[in-house]
Structure 1
Amino acid sequence: MKTLIVTGGSLDISWAKDFVRTINAEYIIAADSGLKYIDELGLVPDMILGDYDSVEDGLLDKYKSIDIKTYPKEKDYTDTHIAIINALKAGASVIYILGATGTRMDHTFTNICNMKAALDSGVPCFICDSHNKIYLINDKMGEVKVSKTGQYGDYVSFVPLSEETIISLAGFKYVLDDYILHQGLSICQSNEIKENVAVINIKKGLVIVFETKD
């Protein structure tokens, strides 16, 4: 089940309208103030969740017939993390998250890390905005292929989340063969796909993949 989560970071509504039409989600979750974006996009959520501390008065009432889950403001999980967990429970086969990036870099990075819940469940999960497509790859996935025509932007960057990562890259401008990538190195920044299909293989560890455009 193709699932869309909309949360309360920054979102280019004009871009998002085209994006949601493209993915044609079968299940939609509004995470807290992401409900505002859901409303602006003219979508009808299947689930609304959060503590609603940043939801405009009256907006929640508009959707009172929807499955609404209320959580305390002080809790151990962010609203976006809870949304990912609920998406997995609902049977998501792939998850797209909008509104997960923005001015609060702590929230952005946490949202990226929270995608590991989906990764561990074997469910592809992507954070997308008008300039970035972000996802996680680990050493259990084998070869991951990215087509030049299907890539999100012009550049592909890899940032290790584990202390030591073994990475191979083929079909890129800068290829690697079982390269030991340590945290803090920038050698995997702003690579480019040169062949019709590029192949990423993580032999050890966990990396964030950024498909980006200026």
Structure 2
Amino acid sequence: MESREPIKISVLGSTGSIGTQVLDVVRRLGPDSVRVVGLGAQLNAELLIEQAREFKPELVCIGEGKLCERVATALEGTGVSACCGVGGFDELATLPRADRIVVSVAGTPGLSPTLKAIEAGKSVALASKEVLVAAGHLVMDAAKRNNVPVLPIDSEHSAIFQCLNGENGRCIEKIFLTASGGAFRNTPKEKLAKVTAEQALAHPTW
């Protein structure tokens, strides 16, 4: 049987909840199935350094410029290159060897690397809902133009994607999302009537 080349991935937001789960999956599958070629984090330099030593990507990026020297010094002699600043995420998103880019950067900072990855012809595994909320039309237009898949990998948008898999999307008129969490998840029913708009909007809205 002919062996397949491992999928090569770059993980933006590798030290966060989704990023660490992605790397757990990589560990289980092993390097014959998936290899990490890029890792990026905003602030957690220590965990990023640990991940770089374990997975030995070709490039890591720390978003906070003040931490760049710490990361670069720690990785001297490992063969792992380091860059810093949010522009470095664009570099991670366009690594020539990467087949798929995992974007789990919190908020809209994930938009630029998402678009850069798509324009470079990389498939995108997207955990950042805010990217689609803020600029979904730009992202999906770019994906269609470049014939690049955008795969949702977190929470509600992934659940919808999985439910629609194999179905005819043209037959679906509406989709209802239930409130699975939120600021009032544990609030007794008798107190919900007194909730203010300010309290409700203190929770992320999209």
- Normalised TM-score (structure 1): 0.47
Q: For the pair shown, which has the larger CA radius of gyration, 1 or 2?
A: 2
**Is the strand fraction higher in 1 or 2?**
1
Higher relative contact order, chain-length normalized (CA < 8 Å, sep 6+): 1
